[in-house]
Amino acid sequence: MSSFANHQYKQQAWRLDKLFPDFASPEMDEALARVQMQLEQFAAWQSKLNPTLTQEEFQAILAAYEKLYREISVLYGFAALRFSANTQDQAAQNYMARMGQLAAETQNRQLFFELWWKNLDEETAQGFLDAAAEYHYWLDTLRRQKPYTLTEPEERIINLKNVNGRSVLTQLYSSITNRYTFNLTVNGEAKTITRGELTTYYASSDPELRAAAYQELYRVYAHDAPILGQIYQAIIRDWRSENVDLRHFSTPMSVRNLVNDIPDEVVDTLLNVIQANAPLFHRYFRLKANLLGLDKLHRYDLYAPTGKTEQTYPFAEAASLVLTSFNTFHPRLAELARRVFDDEHLDSEVRPGKSGGAFCAPITPDLTPWVLQSYHGQPNDVATLAHELGHAIHFMLAEHHNALTWLSSLPLMETSSTFGEMLVIDHLLTQDPDPEVHRVLLFKQMDDAYATIMRQGYFALFEKAAHEAVQSGATVDVLSDLYLANLREQFGDAVEVSDDFRHEWVAIPHFYNTPFYVYAYAFGQLLVLSLYEQYKQEGESFKAGYLELLAAGGSASPVEILQKAGIDMHAAAFWQGGFDVLARLLEKLERLANTG
C-alpha cells in the first residue's frame, strides 16, 4: 500500500488567497501603491546610468528591477488565475486587462535600463557581467536581443500595442471558446458537456462514440471558424509586422527560438528528424489497426483503447499513484509535488467556464506554483496530473534562483513534466505483472509519444506554413486546406483522415496564445526519452545529475545545461536516439501483439 494512500486528496478548486483576497481589497491597493512608489524610485536611476557605475550601484539597479518584476508577477498572476478559473467572469476579464496595462507601463518605465545595457560597448558590459553573479545569464540574454531592439519610443509604443492588441485577441479567443458546450448521446442519454468532458470519449471502446465526439467538437468549432480564423490571421499579421518587418528577424519562428535560446538550425534539425521518422508511427498505426480488427485506422480511432477493459482512477487514487511514483525515484520529487496539494494550489474540478486544457503557473520563486486541470478519471488524466506536477517540481527545485533566472527555457521546461509521466507509467508496469496490462500501458506510451512528438512537430510545420500563407493573403479556408494537407502528410497511407479535421487548427490554443510554442513538447519528449534510457542504465548514480539539471532553472543557456549532461542538441543523432528508444518499444509491442 502506498505511503500516500492514507491522505485522501479531494478534487477541488484552488485557493488564491496567498496572492490577494479579491480584486477590491486593501492588500491589492497596497500592492498597486508599492508598484507606483518603486517605479518612481527606479526612474531616479536613469540620470545616474554611465559606464563608471560602481558594481554595488549596478547590483542595486538589478535588485530594484527584480523587485518590480516580482510585484507585477503577483498582480498579473492573480488576474490570470482568476480568469482561468472562470473565463466568463467579467470582473476577472476586466482586471486582467488592467494588469496587462500596468505590466506594459512598468516595462516601458524600466526600458531605459534595458536599452542602456544593450548598447554598452563589449568591454564595459563584460566588466559588469563578471560581477553580476546570479543575474549573469539574464543580462547576457538581453544583450543577444540587441540586433532586434528598436528605439525607446518605438519600444514603448509596441508594449502598449501588444497589451491592447494581441493580448486582447488571445483573451477574446479564450472567452469565446471556453463558453462552448457540446452535445453528445451516450448510452441513449443526451448530454451537454464541456470540451474536457468531451475529450474523454476520444478513447472510448465504442468506435461510433469516438467518431461522434470528434464530429461534435469540430461541428462547434467549424461554426465559428470564420471568426476564430480571423483572430488567428490578425495575430499572425501583428507578429510578422512587429518581428519580421520592424525588428528584422529572419523568420517568424526565429522570434521564439531567440526567446528559447535555441539556435534556428537546432529547431530545423529537430523538425527534419521528426519528418524522417513519420514511417515509425505509420508502422505503429498499422499494428494498432490490426489489433482493433480494422483494415486501417481512421483519425477518430487514434486513441482507441487496445485493452479489454477501460480503467478509471478516482482522484485520490491518482494522487497517491503519482506521489508514490515520484517518491520511488527520489523522495524530494514527492515532497515538492505534495506541496501543491497541501497548499491547495491545484484546481482539478470540472465546471463550465473553466479554462480548457491543463497548465502549471509559476508566479514567483517563493510561491508554490498553481496547477489547473479538469480531472475526469481517465488514464490520460493521471498522466496529465503527473505532467503538470512535474512542471511544479521543476520550478520548485530552481526556486533558489532570483526571479529573472528562475524559469528555464521552454524546451527544457518540458523535461521534468515528461519525465514525471514516464515515472508513473514505469511504476504501473512494475506493480502489475499481467501481460494484458503491460500491453495496454505500452500502447498508451506510444499514443502519448505520438501526441507529444509527431503531432506537435507537425503543428510547428503547420505554423511555419500558416505564417507564410497569411502573409501571401491566404483566407481562412486556405489555412484549413493547408492544415488538412499537413495531417495527410503526417499520417501517410496508415490513417484515414476525413474532411471534418480540416478545422482542427482553430481548436489549438497554443497557435493563438504562444506562436511556435509547440516544438518545445517534441524537444522535451525526445530529450526525456534519452535521459530516461540513461536512468535505466545508470540507476542511482543518474539521479543527482538529473536533479542538478532541473535545479539550474534559467540560470544558464540550454546548450550549457545539456552539455553538462553530455548532450549535443545540434546533432541529428541525438534526436534520432529518442526515436530509436521508441523503435525498441514498438518492437516489444509487436512481440506482445503476436503472443496475445
Residue 47 is predicted with a pLDDT of: 93
Residue 398 · residue 553 · CB < 8 Å:
yes
Residue 308 is predicted with a pLDDT of: 58
Residue 150 · residue 158 · CB < 8 Å:
yes
Residue 438 · residue 425 · CB < 8 Å:
no
Residue 154 · residue 246 · CB < 8 Å:
yes
Query: What span, in angstroms and rounded, lies between the C-alpha atoms of 438 and 432?
Result: 8
- The CA-atom distances, in angstroms, between 142 and each of 81, 149, 271, 318 are 28, 10, 27, 42
Q: Which of 62, 89, 109 is nearest to 402 (CA)?
A: 62
Which DSSP symbol is given to 190? E
Query: What span, in angstroms and rounded, lies between the C-alpha atoms of 402 and 551?
Result: 12
- Note the pTM of the prediction, 2 decimals: 0.86
Query: What span, in angstroms and rounded, lies between the C-alpha atoms of 96 and 83?
Result: 7
Residue 310 is predicted with a pLDDT of: 60
Query: What span, in angstroms and rounded, lies between the C-alpha atoms of 533 and 538?
Result: 9
Please name each of the domains of the chain with its CATH number: 26-164 (1.20.140.70)
Residue 596 is predicted with a pLDDT of: 56
Query: What span, in angstroms and rounded, lies between the C-alpha atoms of 342 and 399?
Result: 18
Query: What span, in angstroms and rounded, lies between the C-alpha atoms of 400 and 314?
Result: 35
Residue 113 · residue 61 · CB < 8 Å:
yes
Residues in the chain where the model's pLDDT stays below 70: 1-6, 307-310, 595-596
Query: What span, in angstroms and rounded, lies between the C-alpha atoms of 87 and 83?
Result: 5
Query: What span, in angstroms and rounded, lies between the C-alpha atoms of 322 and 340?
Result: 13
Q: Which residue has the cell 483494415?
A: 295
Contacts of 318 (CB under 8 A, 6+ apart): 375, 377, 381, 382, 385
- For 343-357, the pLDDT digits (tens) are 999 999 998 888 888
β-pair partners for 321: none
β-pair partners for 346: 371
Residue 586 · residue 534 · CB < 8 Å:
no
Query: What span, in angstroms and rounded, lies between the C-alpha atoms of 491 and 150?
Result: 43
48's torsion region: left (phi>0), alpha (psi -120 to 50) or beta? Answer: alpha
